[in-house]
Amino acid sequence: TGVGRSHASVRLAPDGTAELLTGLFDTGTGAHTVLQQIAAEVLGLDPGRVWVRIGGTDIAEEDSGAGGSRVTHVAGQAAFRAASSAAEQLRQLAAELFGWPETDVVLRGGRIGPGERFDDDAVPLEEVLRRLGEPIVGHGSYETDERHPEQTVSAQAAEVEVDRETGQVRVRRLVSVHDVGTVINPVTHRGQIEGGVVHGLGFALMEEIGISPDEGRVGTLSLGEYKLPSVLDVPPLETILVPGGHGPGPYDAKAIGEASNSAVAPAIAAAVLDAVGVAARDLPIKAERVLALLDEAAASPTQASAAASPRPR
- What positions carry a catalytic annotation? 258
* DSSP assignment string, the chain: ---EEEEEEEEE-TTS-EEEEESPPP-SS-HHHHHHHHHHHHHT--GGGEEEEE--TTTS-----S-TT-IIIIIHHHHHHHHHHHHHHHHHHHHHHHT--GGGEEEETTEEEEGGGHHHH-EEHHHHHHHH-S-EEEEEEEEE-S--S----EEEEEEEEE-TTT--EEEEEEEEEEEES--S-HHHHHHHHHHHHHHHHHHHHT----B-TTT--BS--STTTS----TTT---EEEEEEE-S--SSGGG----TTTTSTTHHHHHHHHHHHHHS----SSS--HHHHHHHHHHHHH-HHHHHHHHSPPP-
CB 86 within 8 A of CB 140: no
Q: How many CB atoms lie within 10 A of CB 212?
A: 9
Return left, alpha or beta for 81; rule: phi > 0 is left, psi -120 to 50 is alpha, else beta.
Answer: alpha
CB 167 within 8 A of CB 291: yes
Residue length, the chain? Answer: 313
Q: How many CB atoms lie within 10 A of CB 227?
A: 16
CB 111 within 8 A of CB 125: yes
